[in-house]
Amino acid sequence: MNIQINQLGYTPGMKKTAVMHGKLSDTLQVLDAQGCIVLTLPVSASRTDIWGDQVAEADFSALTIPGTYTLRCGKEASWPFPISEAPYQSCLTALVDMFYYQRCGGEVDARAGVFAHPACHTGPARIYGTEDFMEVDGGWHDAGDFGRYIVPAAKAVADLLLAWQWNAGAFAAPNLTPILEEARWELEWMLKMQREDGAVYHKVSCARFCGMIMPHEEKEELIISPVSTTATGDFAACMAMASRFYAAQDAAFAQRMLEAARRAWDFLQQSEPILFRNPEGISTGGYGDRSDADERLWAHVELAVTCGDEMYLRAARDAILQQDRSRVSLGWGDVSGYAALEGLMLPGDLASLCRQWILDGADAALSRINPYGITMTERLPWGSNMNISNDGMVFYQAWLLTGCEAYRLAAEKQLHYLLGVNPVDYCYVSCFGSNPMLHPHHRPSVAQGVCQPGMLSGGAASGMMDACAREHLQGQPAAKAFIDMHASYSTNEICVYWNSPMVALLAGLSK
Ligand code: 9MR
Ligand code: ZN
Q: How confident is the model at residue 354 (pLDDT cuts 50, 70, 90)?
A: very high
- Nearest ligand (C-alpha, residue 156): 1
At residue 215, does pLDDT exceed 90? yes
Evaluate: CB of 432 within 6 angstroms of ligand 1. Answer: no
Smallest CA separation from ligand 1 atom 10, residue: 285
Q: How confident is the model at residue 47 (pLDDT cuts 50, 70, 90)?
A: confident
The rounded distance, in Å, linking the Cα atoms of 380 and 385 is 9
**Buried-exposed string 293-309: b where 16+ CB fall within 10 A, e elsewhere:** bbbbbbbbbbbbbbbee
The helix/strand/coil state of 294 is helix
State the closest ligand 1 atom to the C-alpha of 145, by its place in the atom list counted from 1: 17
pLDDT digits (tens, 9 = 90+) for 434-479: 999 999 999 999 999 999 999 999 999 999 999 999 999 999 999 9
Smallest CA separation from ligand 1 atom 14, residue: 285
What pLDDT does 179 receive?
A: 97
CATH code that applies to domain 1-87: 2.60.40.10
Q: What is the DSSP letter of 177?
A: S
What pLDDT does 358 receive?
A: 98
What pLDDT does 49 receive?
A: 74
Decide: residue 37, CB within 10 A, 0-12 exposed, 13-18 middle, 19+ buried. exposed
Comparing 3-17, 41-55, 160-174, 388-402, the range with the smallest average pLDDT is 41-55
Distance 285 CA to ligand 1 centre (A): 6
Probe residue for ligand 1, chosen from 140, 442, 495, 498 as the CB with the greatest number of ligand atoms within 8 Å:
495
Q: How confident is the model at residue 56 (pLDDT cuts 50, 70, 90)?
A: very high
pLDDT digits (tens, 9 = 90+) for 31-40: 999 999 999 9
Distance 383 CA to ligand 1 centre (A): 8
The rounded distance, in Å, linking the Cα atoms of 174 and 172 is 6
Distance 114 CA to ligand 2 centre (A): 16
**Buried-exposed string 264-285: b where 16+ CB fall within 10 A, e elsewhere:** bbebbeebebbebebeeebebb
The rounded distance, in Å, linking the Cα atoms of 347 and 489 is 44
The rounded distance, in Å, linking the Cα atoms of 212 and 99 is 19
Residues in Cβ contact with 233 at an 8 Å cutoff, skipping those fewer than 6 apart: 264, 268, 292, 294, 295, 296, 298, 299
The domain spans of the chain are: 1-87
Evaluate: CB of 143 within 6 angstroms of ligand 1. Answer: yes
Rama region for 425: left / alpha / beta (φ>0; ψ in -120 to 50; rest): left
What pLDDT does 46 receive?
A: 86
pLDDT digits (tens, 9 = 90+) for 81-99: 999 999 999 999 999 999 9
Q: How confident is the model at residue 48 (pLDDT cuts 50, 70, 90)?
A: confident
Strand 47-48 and strand 81-83: the pairing is: unpaired
Distance 22 CA to ligand 2 centre (A): 48
pLDDT digits (tens, 9 = 90+) for 128-171: 999 999 999 999 999 999 999 999 999 999 999 999 999 999 99
What pLDDT does 53 receive?
A: 80
460, 426 Cβ separation under 8 angstroms: no
Predicted TM-score (pTM) of the model is: 0.98
For range 291-301, the mean pLDDT: 98
Comparing 48-52, 144-148, 152-156, 383-387, the range with the smallest average pLDDT is 48-52
Strand 76-77 and strand 67-73: the pairing is: antiparallel
Q: What percent of the chain has pLDDT over 90?
A: 95
**Phi, psi for residue 201 in degrees, rounded to 5:** -65, 145
What pLDDT does 194 receive?
A: 98
**Phi, psi for residue 359 in degrees, rounded to 5:** -70, -40
Probe residue for ligand 1, chosen from 493, 497, 500 as the CB with the greatest number of ligand atoms within 8 Å:
493
For range 45-68, the mean pLDDT: 89
For range 230-257, the mean pLDDT: 98
What pLDDT does 174 receive?
A: 87
What pLDDT does 199 receive?
A: 99
What pLDDT does 263 receive?
A: 98
Look at the alpha carbons of 466, 469, 472, 478 in this order and tell me if their dihedral is positive or negative: negative
Q: What is the DSSP letter of 324?
A: -
Q: How confident is the model at residue 52 (pLDDT cuts 50, 70, 90)?
A: confident
For range 173-190, the mean pLDDT: 95
The rounded distance, in Å, linking the Cα atoms of 418 and 400 is 22
Evaluate: CB of 382 within 6 angstroms of ligand 1. Answer: yes
The residues pairing with 494 across neighbouring beta strands, listed in sequence order, are 457
Evaluate: CB of 285 within 6 angstroms of ligand 1. Answer: yes
Ion ligand 2 — residues with CB under 5 Å? 104, 120-121, 215
At residue 23, does pLDDT exceed 80? no
**Phi, psi for residue 465 in degrees, rounded to 5:** -100, 10
State the closest ligand 1 atom to the C-alpha of 493, by its place in the atom list counted from 1: 21
At residue 24, does pLDDT exceed 90? no
Evaluate: CB of 383 within 6 angstroms of ligand 1. Answer: yes
For range 215-236, the mean pLDDT: 98
| Mean pLDDT score of the chain | 97
Q: Which helix (H) or strand (E) is 403 found in, with range?
A: none
Evaluate: CB of 386 within 6 angstroms of ligand 1. Answer: no
At residue 45, does pLDDT exceed 90? no
45, 65 Cβ separation under 8 angstroms: no
Evaluate: CB of 425 within 6 angstroms of ligand 1. Answer: no
- Nearest ligand (C-alpha, residue 141): 2
The helix/strand/coil state of 48 is strand
384, 352 Cβ separation under 8 angstroms: no
Q: Write the single-letter amino acid at 268.
A: L
Rama region for 139: left / alpha / beta (φ>0; ψ in -120 to 50; rest): left
Evaluate: CB of 145 within 6 angstroms of ligand 1. Answer: yes
The residues pairing with 108 across neighbouring beta strands, listed in sequence order, are 117
For range 497-510, the mean pLDDT: 98
At residue 50, does pLDDT exceed 80? no
